[in-house]
Structure 1
Amino acid sequence: GKDSYVDKKDAGKYIDTIQKLLFAGKYKVAEKLVDNKVLNKRLSGGKNTYQMLGNLFVETPNLDSVTNYKRELDLNQSVATTTFKNKGVTFKREYFSSFPDKAMVYKFTADAKGKINISTWIKRSEQTKIIISENRIEFSEHVGNGHGVTYHAIVDFKTKGGISKVEKEKITISNADEIIIKVVAVSNYRGLDPEKESNLVLNKIENTSYNELLDRHVSDYQALFNRVDFKISKKTGEDFPTDVRLKKVKKGISDNYLTQLQYQFGRYLLISSSRPGTLPANLQGIWAKGFTPPWNSDYHTNINVQMNYWMAEMANLSECHEPFLDFVNNLRKKGRVTARKTYNSRGFVAHHTSDVWHTTAAFGKSRYAMWPMGAAWACEHLFTHYEYTEDKEYLKNKAYPIMKEAALFFVDFMVTNPNTGFLVSGPSISPENNFLTPAGKKATLNMGPTMDRTIIFELFNNCIKAAEILNTDADFSAILKSKIEQMPPLEIGSDGRLLEWAEELKEAEPGHRHISHLYALHPSNQISKSQTPELFEAAKKTLEGRLSHGGGHTGWSRAWIINFYARLLQGDKAYENILALQRKSTLPNLLDVHPPFQIDGNFGVVSGITEMLLQSHNDEIHILPALPSEWQSGSIKGIVAKKGFEIDITWELGKLKTLVVTSKLGNTLKLRYNEDVKEIETKKGEVLTFDY
């Protein structure tokens, strides 16, 4: 694929002038300069987009008396099923997508012999090359008129009984007892030969029975899915369709079973879209419809891709985190060029949007694009993965070198604010908000917005911690420590809210969907009730202010609010926002809607619910920190805390009943429940049981 986004030539020559203009309060002049001299346009007209593979049409003739039509997705097995009755015969279609065998497998059956009749064909684009034989459709293309990858796909049909023939570019199968369809597809994204490789993948499973493929798929999936069990609902109600449940919730009832389902659906989606060796889940996960999905199904690094992965470690899906960690590593090559060309700085940098080509350039409009924090925020995930696993090899060879290089950029990039004497970054923004200038004009660029400061503070501190653990790089740590000392403190405005920008400015949209200046509360942990009580109260006010002006109107924004309220230890408020997510931002199939469909809300609600029941920042494990009164009794088993503790919690009538802690690494366990705090030395593999 060709790069749609490149760094603007000579951008670096203007940074100094832009910084001076911003310090002088000449926001609009600076913005004009940034738009003209620093930001590029999207060069390929949106050709670089993630796409569906194609449409496989299956037409069934003479379905004139269909009854009992039912579609279901079994989250325990990751198998979708459709059943219906027609003229006294019950038809069943099962579908699954197998990670171990790299294939999609469908099975069509009926409860009477010789009753399956279908015609089937592939549709994609004008450029698609399609070859049809009586038991195969092969199709291939150089995507985007030769702009993107080339791929080769094979749809393979095996029938029992009946006749298969090719007519009018379709395969028609008549009077069959059973049909098994296998779909494989390979692109050259990782340098493979698509045609050769897709045939190899198919040959491997050509003679494997459906049941064997199903068993391999289910055991691979369950190895991840079955780690966590979550119950907050007495009733099972599986026979009650999800869309009907959701309608009732939208009309005003609450349904704990739906919440439980939404939680495990989020885990299912991450398992199904992010595995070692794949690309990370994008804005739509992997579920793009058509050829022009919203925002190209890119990676938006100003919250969306990070939110996809907040849940990974805590919901016991550490392996599913890996594609994102690899992605951050892969941003370095272009990110170094962007750092040098756009900012005259060492290290590496990335802006608000990236894609599968690991683009890092700044493009678009100031309001969202003039934001050099994408890589730095993503680096939080590298250190988080270490905090859960304590894998020192990984820290040494992978995480720390990437974090260090991201930090080096800010060592060079930060400048002293002549008005305050503090070190700040910029030109930057508070994603994607505007403020009003003293003259009442809308502006967006600023030196040292609060979010910049909190992300850099966290990155520097994580680098210092990592260097200490690895006993390395004392000189670099000393530089970072001295920079931290020169950075401004977090400040509270005259109305008791946290400042969003370096000085007190009025927001143009007080109900803005991004709540960027609360980064210090979540996902970071620079604000907490015990360590920073004043800032904790200011964060509460900030959130209430956003919500009172209509904040949380997008699915992902609402999901972030659930996480914020969990950190503010307000379980009932977190719960209210789960309800709001269900009522305002959830589609009938439970996918999250921005609008349009965007998957981050599905993932963000999982981390939010987990943090309502368990938190492990601030060096202690806090049990039931934000339990809402609506979840009177329940249990969650298999969730994970930092320092390698796996935890099962059962509660009754709003109170903790039993707690089982498995120490995977043998660390000291610091436990908190309400005001009860205990510290226990553990051995690796030890299981501790507590009754309350």
Structure 2
Amino acid sequence: MQTKLYFVCSNLCKLMQLKLLPALLLLTGIATAQQKGNTLKLWYQQPAKEWTEALPVGNGRLGAMIFGGAGDELIQLNEATLWSGGPVNNQVNPDAYKHLPSIRAKLFKGDYAAASEELKEMQGLYSQSYLPLGDIHIKQQLPGTPAAYSRDLNVADAIAGTTFTSNGIGYTREIFASGKDQVIVIRLTANKKQQLNCKISAGSQLRHQQLVSGQQEITLKGKAPAQVDPSYVNYNKEPIIYEDTKGCKGMRFELKLRASSSDGSIKADTGGITISNATQAVILVSAATSFNGFDKCPDNEGKDEHKLATAYLQAAAQLPFDELRRRHVDDFHYYFNRVSFILPPSPGEDRTKLPTDERLRRYATGAQDAELEALYFQFGRYLLISSSRLNGVPANLQGIWNKELRAPWSSNYTININTQMNYWAAEAVNLPEMHRSLLTLIQNVASTGRYTAKHFYNTRGWAANHNTDIWALSNPVGNLGKGDPQWANWPMGGNWLCQHLWEHYRFTGDKKFLRDTAYPIMKAAAQFSLDWLVSDGKGHLVTAPATSPENKFITETGVKSSVSIATTMDMSIIRDLFSNLVDADSILQTDMAFRDTLLQKKSKLLPLQIGKKGNLQEWYKDWEDEDPEHRHISHLFGLFPGREISPLTTPAFAEACKRTLAIRGDGGTGWSKAWKINVWARLLDGNHAYKLLRELLKISSNDATDYHNAGGTYSNLFCAHPPFQIDGNFGGTSGITEMLLQSQLNAIQLLPAIPDAWASGEVKGLVARGGFVIDMQWADGKLKKATILAKNGGPCRLRVLQPLKGSNNLALSALKGDGTGYLYTFNTTAGNVYTLIAE
């Protein structure tokens, strides 16, 4: 039976100023529904033994990992701006560019090994490291053996809890990181009067001193190192240096704890805070650093960390616990409740009654658990809100949660995939405010990147390479020749970051942001690319040297190398940047001469190529990969996150991408699997995307090291690289979003890659490019109802599989012969809601 769908439009007045949008959403009921029950809760029947079993809370600046021990609670703390080092040294390797002519000559002669070796001469210093703040221990005196134990994390409210009994007395802990009041709040209770007795202490791996700052308060004052080597660098005698006489000394930090109780006694001394004979106690945790911006020395130009930490603490201490909790929940709900995703419970027992680790174990053996998949999607949104609230300080490789003094890969910003993956979903899952953390860091990196472009590459504009940090590092890393060019030398990082500037405009329609912020930065990146490109002598413009991040090829003569000419990723990123700038100027109409230059140069870029195996070719020539199942699929950039390739517009290249994925296989690290979910969704293959989602949710252990097969999920739902990297969580949420909604082309695709396993469901509050907020319900794999809120107004192009019959003068055109469904084009008014109903 043919399904018929009808449009209904309702005018909701002119409430579309961004500051009134939350009121509009509440008025319409769009994107405000919070899932009921405990479907959005992680819970366990035992305390965490490992860090990857602990539960994360965060307010974008302060983060905590909660272990939940009954008699000995451990809470590991972080502060988002606590990094080693100081502003970038612009005097590093100033003559690096002089090696370019020689390197290029070697490349065009085919001497790739020699070119790679000389490319090391164009390296700068490593990034700095994200650091742990400290630990809190709560040693609780219990009258007996703990029983009836449970700990949980309510993702919908951003509150972690622990409950247990001891000798018939019930004890609870409630912990949250307040974005409103900028403190971590811990409430301890006993259900019998004056049965709460505990001692709270704090410490740090960093150099510090502890002070008693009042009857109820202790303070840690500390200093971060001036230099911390990456964890994989082992050739320096002192990998951690506190006093750097050559440059800026490390930043200062302060951590403060204050306890209060209505009926117990509290005493602070050098050993900590002792709470005796209380029924309830509240502990406030405040912290701050002297970080004062990427270009200010945090020592002699730093902020007053004592003043900041004290102000946060004193303000929060004026509020009762219930008010602190209410303010926290209201603040978190403002962001989180914009989107809901409901999948019908899988048949059988109520899986939400099972501990999360048990659910994961059963899921790994093939059990169906649709609610776990929906929880994972929302957990990604929870983590983004919790780790990304500061301008210029986006979520790093571990969000804001790190326990290591020398974190894996320095817990930095890796911009050859990982940092971008953190923010792929931000706009689509209705969290543009979180995206601003990255957008402002890009502005900082563009600033230091001008020096990098001039002194490392002898070009105009700006460039950034493989890594950056809170100081906006942009030079090639490697410590002046000690790094492998396969990851150290790759100047496309800045160009890729520019895609996020353009995407923010496409989702929001913020023309002022496009004109004043995005376009100048994108143009300067394009100027770098124009100067970086060279002729290959065959009529094409190419990059040289070029790498495909972290991968190696084998030439026809058996030579293994990573450095060549015009990798597909390089060329795809440059085409994407040029295309985005051309589109931007068609809106702004202010730079037509430069637009013409871009169009002319774009036409000469080396095009995409299909290899002898039918795959999308990764290298300049059709070489073999040293590792055919390599975790990176960089050459598929044009498919995702780009928009150059699509089954709808370039079917031959889309098929080549499928062949590439077949050769690569479905294995890989956690974030690699997440990347592939997005790619398969863009190929409109929801069942394959879903297969990889199930593999991403495979429970993993801390001792896993096989990058081809060990990637999965720890019991606290953190993504296992291994070790933990948060980009896999964010990439997984992005992949689910791409299965439900796509808008990268000229139309919004509803349910473009819905898998058979999700035959029915409902999602509210997703955002499509153009500023359209979309709710959908579907059954039997087909759309039943969609509601579209036009935030900005203007034309809406909608692609659906079912034929439509519209009203209200909607213009209809059906695509023919390609099996992609039907295309509607209709005009919208800002503030109007359009409802699509299936009979």
**Shorter chain as normaliser: what TM range?**
over 0.9
Greater alpha carbon shift after TM alignment, 220-229 vs 191-200: 191-200
Residue 196 (structure 1) shift: 1.3
What corresponds to 2:697 in structure 1? Answer: 582
Contact 1:233 1:260 in 2 (8 A): no
**Aligned: 1:569 with 2:684:** yes
**Aligned: 1:92 with 2:177:** no
Residue 125 (structure 1) shift: 3.3
Report the Cα distance in structure 2 between the residues aligned to 1:532 and 1:277, rounded to whole angstroms. Answer: 38
Report the Cα distance in structure 2 between the residues aligned to 1:97 and 1:278, rounded to whole angstroms. Answer: 20
**Residue 253 to residue 458, structure 1, CA distance change in 2 (3 Å):** same
What corresponds to 2:109 in structure 1? Answer: 24
Q: Percent identity of the aligned residues?
A: 40
Residue 126 (structure 1) shift: 6.3
**Residue 41 to residue 207, structure 1, CA distance change in 2 (3 Å):** closer
What corresponds to 1:478 in structure 2? Answer: 596
What corresponds to 1:205 in structure 2? Answer: 316
Report the Cα distance in structure 1 between the residues aligned to 2:307 and 2:87, rounded to whole angstroms. Answer: 27
What corresponds to 1:155 in structure 2? Answer: 257
Report the Cα distance in structure 1 between the residues aligned to 2:677 and 2:649, rounded to whole angstroms. Answer: 21
Among 137, 159, 162, the alignment partner of 1:79 is 159
Q: How does 1:499-648 map to 2 (within 5 A)?
A: 499-547=617-665, 552-583=667-698, 584-648=711-775
Q: Give the SS at the match of 1:630.
A: helix
Q: What amino acid is aligned across from residue 493 of structure 2 in structure 1? A: G
Q: How does 1:162-561 map to 2 (within 5 A)?
A: 162-166=264-268, 169-190=271-292, 191-234=302-345, 237-277=351-391, 279-364=393-478, 365-418=484-537, 420-547=538-665, 552-561=667-676
Q: Give the SS at the match of 2:544.
A: coil
Q: How does 1:38-117 map to 2 (within 5 A)?
A: 38-42=122-126, 48-62=128-142, 64-117=144-197
Report the Cα distance in structure 2 between the residues aligned to 1:513 and 1:466, rounded to whole angstroms. Answer: 33
Greater alpha carbon shift after TM alignment, 139-148 vs 256-265: 139-148
Residue 603 (structure 1) shift: 0.3
Residue 168 (structure 1) shift: 5.8
Report the Cα distance in structure 2 between the residues aligned to 1:165 and 1:276, rounded to whole angstroms. Answer: 35
Greater alpha carbon shift after TM alignment, 375-384 vs 147-156: 147-156
Q: Give the SS at the match of 1:238.
A: helix
Residue 60 (structure 1) shift: 1.1
Residue 334 (structure 1) shift: 1.4
What corresponds to 2:236 in structure 1? Answer: none
Q: RMSD over aligned Cα, in angstroms?
A: 1.4
Greater alpha carbon shift after TM alignment, 337-346 vs 677-686: 677-686
Greater alpha carbon shift after TM alignment, 330-339 vs 226-235: 226-235
Report the Cα distance in structure 2 between the residues aligned to 1:599 and 1:290, rounded to whole angstroms. Answer: 15
Contact 2:392 2:438 in 1 (8 A): no
Deviation readout 1:581-636 (Å, 9 max, x if unpaired): 01151000000010000000100011110110111121101111111001111011
For normalisation by structure 1, the TM-score amounts to 0.97
Q: What amino acid is aligned across from residue 135 of structure 1 in structure 2? A: Q
Report the Cα distance in structure 1 between the residues aligned to 2:270 and 2:208, rounded to whole angstroms. Answer: 17
What corresponds to 1:688 in structure 2? Answer: 834
Q: What amino acid is aligned across from residue 253 of structure 1 in structure 2? A: A
Report the Cα distance in structure 1 between the residues aligned to 2:837 and 2:449, rounded to whole angstroms. Answer: 51
Contact 1:620 1:671 in 2 (8 A): yes
Q: What amino acid is aligned across from residue 563 of structure 2 in structure 1? A: L
Q: What amino acid is aligned across from residue 416 of structure 2 in structure 1? A: N
Residue 170 (structure 1) shift: 2.5
For normalisation by structure 2, the TM-score amounts to 0.80
Contact 2:391 2:441 in 1 (8 A): no
**Residue 167 to residue 392, structure 1, CA distance change in 2 (3 Å):** closer
Report the Cα distance in structure 1 between the residues aligned to 2:651 and 2:414, rounded to whole angstroms. Answer: 32
Count of aligned pairs:
683
Structure 2, unaligned stretches of length 5 or more? 1-84, 226-241, 244-248, 293-301, 479-483, 699-710, 802-820
Report the Cα distance in structure 2 between the residues aligned to 1:666 and 1:224, rounded to whole angstroms. Answer: 23
Report the Cα distance in structure 1 between the residues aligned to 2:613 and 2:662, rounded to whole angstroms. Answer: 12
**Residue 322 to residue 215, structure 1, CA distance change in 2 (3 Å):** same
Residue 578 (structure 1) shift: 0.2
Contact 1:552 1:561 in 2 (8 A): no
Residue 400 (structure 1) shift: 0.6
Deviation readout 1:524-577 (Å, 9 max, x if unpaired): 010011211110110111111100xxx531011000000001000001000000
**Aligned: 1:678 with 2:799:** no
More RCO (CA 8 Å, sep 6+): 2
Residue 390 (structure 1) shift: 0.7
Q: What amino acid is aligned across from residue 644 of structure 1 in structure 2? A: G
**Residue 560 to residue 218, structure 1, CA distance change in 2 (3 Å):** same
Contact 1:5 1:361 in 2 (8 A): no
**Residue 491 to residue 354, structure 1, CA distance change in 2 (3 Å):** same
Report the Cα distance in structure 2 between the residues aligned to 1:376 and 1:167, rounded to whole angstroms. Answer: 54
Report the Cα distance in structure 1 between the residues aligned to 2:86 and 2:386, rounded to whole angstroms. Answer: 28
Q: What amino acid is aligned across from residue 531 of structure 1 in structure 2? A: T
Residue 5 (structure 1) shift: 7.1
Contact 2:173 2:186 in 1 (8 A): yes
Contact 1:5 1:41 in 2 (8 A): no
Contact 2:392 2:470 in 1 (8 A): no
Deviation readout 1:360-393 (Å, 9 max, x if unpaired): 1112211101100111001000000000111011
Q: What amino acid is aligned across from residue 217 of structure 2 in structure 1? A: R
What corresponds to 1:123 in structure 2? Answer: 203
Contact 2:217 2:268 in 1 (8 A): no
Structure 1, unaligned stretches of length 5 or more? none
